[in-house]
Amino acid sequence: MDSRRFFEQALTEWMKGEGPDSDIVISSRVRIARNLNGYPFPMLATKSQSGEVLDKIRELHEAGNLQEDGEVEMVPLSELSELEKKVLVEKHLISPNLANESQNGAVLLNESESISIMVNEEDHIRIQVLASGFQIREAWQVANEVDDRFEELLEYAFDERRGFLTSCPTNVGTGIRASVMIHLPALVITQQINRILQAITQVGLAVRGIYGEGSEAVGNLFQISNQITLGQSEEEILDNLHSVVRQIIEHERSARQILAVESRARMQDRICRSYGILTHAIIMDSKEAAQRLSDVRLGVDLGMVQNVSKTALNELLVMTQPAFLQQLSGEKLSAEGRDIRRAELIRSHLAQK
């Protein structure tokens, strides 16, 4: 496998828009946090200790013990440029925390990029599985299988009363974070979103931007995940998230139907204006691009835009990000240079789709 594809190609498995309810749920993700017994958590480990953890994972990889889901490539972060690390963050393949880790960090990726295993992030091992559309249980099944293979080969840090021990107390217990990236333009337009988000937080779920904690929700995209891992089983965590997201999907669909019937002309005007700007603009910043692409995505789902695929729109979510723009250009760009390149890329990409 040529690891260059991870930095040079925007399209990845979760972007295809082929999964269930993909008109609203962009992707589903399950992440499992694990630590090795006998080693300090990464934030407290010496360079030598984190190096030993990395060597253990490298040995498993070189022995072929992690290849059951197809070929897996191990990429040490020390071999990547700062730009390449940021590209992996923009593709949701590593966390911002790991990108900033200069001491023995690595990531293992399968060819479809649906499986990402981070080494020496906040925890020694973070197994992440991404799936297109609303497939949270399917993502969990794959993540659980990968976790089982690691557990057969390594001794995890585990306490009979507390469960799996993790660097952050909020992950102690199952160590699982399950989340969906969800597109809710109709709830935003009809001004129902605040009420919905408040209700979500009251049932033990968290709402963040698409790059997780501390990130801004742009383009009407939200990440919804569990907050509690201790005192609940894996199935309880998944069932709660699944139930709440199913209700949100129905609320969004109802809001879209109201907009399509009662405000059809206004919605057509809004969507067509955004499409026109995207296909003709010379300069475009990232926030405007996200909002205009959100409008066009809604237009596709409502049948008001016929010549654009969800795959193309999902791909643009990554291609229009600052690091990927510069990676494509082969040079460092100023803020204005990125805005010019972003507009050019959107024009050409939509013209092809």
SS3 238: helix
Give pLDDT tens digits for 23-34.
999 999 999 999
Domains in the chain: boundaries: 5-255, 263-352
- Percent helix, strand, coil in the chain (nearest 5)? 50, 15, 35
Give pLDDT tens digits for 94-124.
999 999 876 799 999 998 999 999 999 999 9
Q: Is the pLDDT of residue 212 over 60?
A: no
The structure tokens listed for 231 are 């005192």
Q: Is the pLDDT of residue 186 over 90?
A: yes
DSSP string, 257-272: HHHHHHSHHHHHHHHH
**Helix (H) / strand (E) containing 147:** helix 136-153
* DSSP conformational letter for 65: T
| pLDDT at residue 133, rounded to an integer | 95
Q: Is the pLDDT of residue 210 over 90?
A: no
Q: Given its phi and psi angles, is residue 347 left (phi above 0), alpha (psi -120 to 50 degrees) or beta? A: alpha
Give pLDDT tens digits for 75-92.
999 999 999 999 999 999
| pLDDT at residue 110, rounded to an integer | 93
Q: Are the C-beta atoms of 28 and 142 separated by less than 8 Å?
A: no
Mean pLDDT, the chain, integer: 91
Give pLDDT tens digits for 128-182.
999 999 999 999 999 999 999 999 999 999 998 888 999 988 888 899 999 999 9
Give pLDDT tens digits for 266-306.
999 999 999 999 999 999 999 999 999 999 999 999 999 98
Q: Give the whole-number percent of the chain exceeding pLDDT 90.
A: 73
- Tell me, yes or no, if the pTM score tops 0.85: yes
Mean pLDDT of 67-75: 78
| pLDDT at residue 218, rounded to an integer | 80
Mean pLDDT of 192-203: 90
Q: Is the pLDDT of residue 215 over 60?
A: no
* DSSP conformational letter for 25: E
- What is the CATH number that goes with domain 5-255? 3.30.590.10
Give pLDDT tens digits for 312-349.
998 998 899 999 999 988 889 999 999 999 999 999 99
Type of residue found at 29: R
